Structure 1
Amino acid sequence: MAQRGFEWPNQARIAVVVTCLLENWSDGKGPPFSVQTTALKPGTHDRAAMTWGTYGVRAGVWRLLKILDENQVPATFAANAHSLELNPAAAKQIIASGHEISAHSYLQDSILAYLTPEEERALIRKTKDIAHAVTGETPKGWLSPVLASTNHTETFVAEEGFLWYGDYNHIDLPFCVEVGSRKLVALPHSDFADHRVLRANPRDWYDVYKDTFDYLYANEPTSYLNITVHCHFGGRPLIAAQVDRILKYIRGFPKVWIVRHDDLAQWVLDNDIREWTNGDRFYPQAS
């Protein structure tokens, strides 16, 4: 029987997932943000920005892996398939360390919203197939670059056999979604990633997640927190130090379920969890 009100396993007060975004761009392109504060003339090749965006695949992924493993925290790496092609050794180590690799398009500038339905379906399938070829495992989840999905994405993701889909910005808790004759688990994404503190104090990133965790843990049993970092930014020491801090802080609490996206999604599917709205959670007598 489908459930709305529910409890996490072992009476955990909060489920915490860690999302590490492993991304790269087409030749000559890079992330829309950079550490450089001096703008170049239009049309100038910005080598600093281009190389800054390659840091995650070359170096950042390894530092985040080390921090996760030292803290015994399972995570999900949402990876562009080309990033896996560029660094298959890191891809294999992610799997060997017990983490999940989910599909995150082929390139970070392969934006679904710009494609025809036929192109979009082909890109989703290509991403899944390359991830399997590199890692030996078929990805179970899909997260679109910049969350720029279309009206077709949910259907294509379900038809390709994915377990979970993460392009949801309007929900607080995961639940099962009926997509045609299939079920897909909707996982909420984070709206605060490390690039929010690009030119601010890196400790602001820690403070935001600490305060959010403290509030949810104290006030909202059966809550959910998605901690999100980019390998090309969060994998650098100035943010990685804060990643280490927040993981150590959260692990100091009892009744916290730190879980990979796919393991959480499988639990949601197995228990046929349906949407539990904040109205029902906070004011059940009003329903």
Structure 2
Amino acid sequence: MSQENVTMNKVVLFDFDGTISTLRAGWEEVMTPFMKESILGAYQPTNEEEQALDQDIALYIDQSTGIQTVYQMRWLAEQVGNKGWNEQILDEWEYKAEYNRRLLVKVKERVLRLENGELQAEDYLMKGSLLFLQHLQSLGVEMYVASGTDHPDVVREAGVLGVAAYFKEIVGAPVGKAECSKEKVIKELIESKGLSGSDLVVIGDGKVEIRLAKEYGGLAIGLASDEEKREGINPVKEQRLLEAGADWIEGDFQIMAEWIKRLGL
């Protein structure tokens, strides 16, 4: 069988943040205090109440990594209402707007400095990812990105990191809509290309994309990325991805031969 026939139906769908890009590394450190502040308001909790709240927020963030931000903010709005500690209850879109404002302070600074040439793209790419994308492209593998980050932002960030051209399509969360971009892309790929089994490979660091890959019969590869070092395995993510049912877990893209073997190329 020729190389072309081996790869012609192979499609690889990547998550973006924490899988290819580390531009948004540290988002949990923004979301955690924001959620706590929003739920508490001016209320002074007991030690037991505060500990329980901290655990609930940490557990939810861990479980929801990879989903569209507005769904996380929907959970936040529900918690604010259920607790009744803060009289000011916003809707999910208002919470999302404020969370994004806080998060993008750091992200926008990084993007601008990359655009100005003050920072280097490789400093915000998972190690080995650029060579991996280049190699897959040379093999004729179609690649896509599906992200829970707002569409205009993920397109811009892929562009500034110099990886946008490797993807046939980049799909982020639709602005102003609560819709799972990852599931939508997977369904459309399967339906339009008649994919089955390991023809579809999904690579990501969150439970959402791994579970979707398994649900639709694809090969689910977990990237348990250490976003600070950009290499090696993050044990917290590794456990999360194991629980989601990942077929294989790696921490970066540096061992090219193993990746190619796992993808069946």
Structure-1-length-normalised TM-score: 0.32
RCO (CA 8 Å, sep 6+): is it higher in 1 or 2? 1
Structure with bigger strand share is: 1
Structure-2-length-normalised TM-score: 0.34
Structure with bigger helix share is: 2
